[in-house]
Amino acid sequence: MSKSKGYAALQAKAPLEPYSFDRREPRQHDVVIDIKYCGICHSDIHQTRDEWSEYQDEAIFPMVPGHEIAGVVAAIGNQVTKYKVGDRVGVGCYVDSCRTCAECRAGLEQYCTVKTVWTYNARDQQGSPTLGGYSDQIVVDENYVLRMPDNLPLEACAPLLCAGITLYSPLRHWQAGPGKKVAIVGLGGLGHMGVKLAHALGAEVTVLSQSLKKQADGKRLGAEHFYATSDPETFTRLDKHFDLVINTVSALSDWNQYLDLLKVNGTMVIVGLPEKDTPVGAFSLTGGRRSLAGSQIGGIRETQEMLDFCGQHAIACDIEVVPIQQVNEAFERVLKSDVRYRFVIDMASLK
């Protein structure tokens, strides 16, 4: 065991505070990572406040959140072949899976039918609670570790591990590219990566945001069009317009309104995870043979593909770096949609 320092919520809805705990000794295939940066995902807020209790079995406290982890390899187990000490690496939303089911073998570990071991608020294969990236070190099996682009700043790449892959995966699956009209709903951490990635893939990108406050940013990030959802005209003007809508909204919103913006055969992919169920009208789907779909992060192979794609296209996240002592204020600002566009914790502040 080695001592680790981090920040934890000691119980649901409690503010995060300094917390010391043990990390396991590295096993043969483990990589010990000195965490340099960790992004603040809206999921960290949902989880530490136990907002998904209707959808998951348990919430485990003390909870050390954080699944946008970027760091440097500090030590390796004696069977590790993929990484060496000093490599720039990342860890995303999960740290293990069964490795044998059809999904795992297909590189869809995030949909493992036996058990995906989430990076925090989960139990590992031995039953111990997992603790996440708001901490100085993490120990992860090499098969669940990613290689970071070496031409981009590590801090700006940390959020690729969740926000980046969560948008890249559906954009690729539903073939966003030249000739496709794609809408990104919500310009937050996920949404801003959706704009950058969809634009880089060649699609015509529109942002649907609550107001026009972020319009100049949206255009700079790669959107050709930007509309406020507070303006009812937006829904008239864009009726039956898009091939693909990706909905990143973290709160309850009217999905029917967005479904009506799809062309015939269009798809709306839900990636935002509000606390409560959202009603959907049958007519929004039938009138246009539309699909309503969901998507959850991405597999290890696809996550590496996304990181390499970002390296090739020089795509990183727009971030605001904060010391860990400001994590609770950062949570509050995320809740007010007041972040441009991802907070990243500088783990040097833990020392």
Residue span binding ligand NAP (CB under 6 A) among the ranges 42-50, 219-227, 311-319, 321-329:
42-50
Nearest to 339 by CA among 192, 229, 208: 192
Residue 242 backbone zone (phi > 0: left; psi -120 to 50: alpha; other: beta): beta
- Is 196 among the residues that bind ligand NAP (CB under 6 A)? no
From Zn ion, ligand NAP, none, which one binds at residue 98 (CB under 5 to 8 Å depending on kind)? Zn ion
Name residues contacting ligand NAP, limited to 1-40 (CB under 6 A). none
Strand partners, 183: 206, 245
With a CB cutoff of 8 Å and minimum separation 6, the contacts of 241 are 181, 183, 261, 262, 263
Report what 4 binds from Zn ion, ligand NAP, none; CB cut-off 5-8 Å by kind: none
Q: Which part of the chain contacts ligand NAP (CB under 6 A), choosing from 15-23, 123-131, 208-216, 311-319? A: 208-216
Look at residue 291 and give the partner it binds from Zn ion, ligand NAP, none, a contact being a CB closer than 5 to 8 Å depending on partner kind: none
CA distance 327 to 42: 12
What are the two backbone dihedrals, phi and then psi, of residue 25, each rounded to the nearest 5 degrees?
-65, 140
139 scored as a contact of ligand NAP (CB under 6 A): no
Choose one: 76-84, 99-107, 172-180, 289-297; the region binding ligand NAP (CB under 6 A). 289-297
Nearest CB to Zn ion, comparing residues 44 and 142: 44
Kindly state the tokens that stand for 329: 């204020």
Give the one entry of ligand NAP, Zn ion, none that residue 249 binds, where binding means its C-beta sits below a cut-off of 5 to 8 angstroms depending on kind: ligand NAP
Nearer to ligand NAP, 73 or 207 (CB): 207
CB neighbours (10 Å) of residue 340? 14
Nearer to ligand NAP by Cβ, of 82 and 333: the residue is 333
Q: How far is the CB of 73 from ligand NAP (least distance, A)?
A: 25
Q: Which of ligand NAP, Zn ion, none binds 315 (CB below 5-8 Å, type-dependent)?
A: none
Q: Is 92 in the site for ligand NAP (CB under 6 A)?
A: no
In whole angstroms, what is the distance from residue 145 CA to residue 161 CA?
A: 10
**Helix ranges (DSSP H) in the chain:** 42-48, 102-105, 154-157, 163-173, 189-200, 215-221, 232-237, 255-259, 282-286, 300-313, 327-335
How far apart, in whole angstroms, are the C-alpha atoms of residue 187 and residue 15?
Answer: 26
Q: What is the nearest approach in angstroms of Zn ion to the Cβ of residue 109?
A: 7
Classify strands 291-294 and 262-270 as parallel, antiparallel or unpaired: parallel
Binders of ligand NAP in range 224-283 (CB under 6 A): 248-251, 253, 271-273
Total number of residues that touch ligand NAP (CB under 6 A): 30
If one asks whether residue 335 binds Zn ion (CB under 5 A), the answer comes out as no
Q: For ligand NAP, which residue of 80, 138, 171, 190 counts as binding (CB under 6 A)?
A: 190
* Alpha-carbon torsion (119, 124, 130, 133), positive or negative: negative
- Binding string to Zn ion for residues 138 to 177, with x set by CB under 5 A, is what? ------------------------x---------------
Q: Does 131 bind ligand NAP (CB under 6 A)?
A: no
What string of DSSP letters covers 18-76?
EEEEEEPPP-TTEEEEEEEEEE--HHHHHHHTTTTTTTSS---SSB-----EEEEEEEE
Pick between residue 272 and residue 311 the one whose CB is nearest to ligand NAP: 272
Q: Which amino acid is at 158?
A: A
Cα(13)–Cα(329) distance, rounded to whole angstroms? Answer: 14
Which positions lie near Zn ion, rule CB under 5 A? 41, 43, 97-98, 101, 104, 112, 114, 162
